[in-house]
Amino acid sequence: MLVLRLLNVVAPAYFLCISLVTFVLQIFLFIPSMFRDPSTTPLLSPALLHGALFLFLSANALGNYILVIQSYPEDLGKGLNLGEGAEVVADWLDGSRSPGSALPSTHFCRLCARVTQRHDHHCFFTGNCIGRRNMRNFIMFCLYTSLACLDSLVAGMAYISAALSMSFANPLAFLTLLPHSISQFFSGALLSSEMFVILMLYLWLGIGLACAGFCCHQMLLILRGQTRYQVRKGMVVRARPWRENLQEVFGKRWLLGLLIPMLNVGSDYCRQKEK
């Protein structure tokens, strides 16, 4: 438990550090050196267009990340008659809480010490539980993080290709880049800055693939009307049309949520059902 609590603090700091490094490399290294074209007008310059795209992806990833953090689990369970403070913690820890006092898949997280409605999982990179209210923001965070990593990966490969005079036309070139660069670095033929960018390429690839995998897996569960917690516990879920499952999570203003970070409005569907 101590290790998990430590990871709950270190993982968000690690993610923010990687985000800051990515922002600095993009704005101060990749864009000024790789996207210069004097023949184009300033409004249509590749540097400006690429910078605007990267800032859009980064703003959405960071904005949804903040919204996931701010949506505390205790807010997700309001109105469930779960109790407050030490009372609910003690009841859920010793199993004395009546099953009828909570909705299905409501879960008490020992790391958060709070109750989450429609609990999915505890995300260490946000230090928070993912539930009904912040599920949409978590999916948007994963989506835009993967896109930002892909954008940084492409820009970084263009920079390395120009700096080292190499081509990535052969798919094996990227796979052999790291071991070849390590040998060149220790022989003194490769600069520290170039070696750092190469290491970041593989980090962006790993984070991008992981976030894309999380996003796709989460979308599959949402279409089926399930959460990871329900799948792990073997809970039976009432079959519903996939459109209703999507509306419950993304709400009616789903298109607006794709463009700008905003609080999850998926509860609108629940309110209509209650009325």
Residues annotated as catalytic (active site), given as ranges: 123
Residue 27 burial by Cβ neighbours in a 10 Å radius (0-12, 13-18, 19+): middle
Closest by Cα among 229, 228, 219, 203 to 145: 203
Closest by Cα among 183, 242, 1 to 250: 242
Closest by Cα among 238, 165, 161, 245 to 198: 161
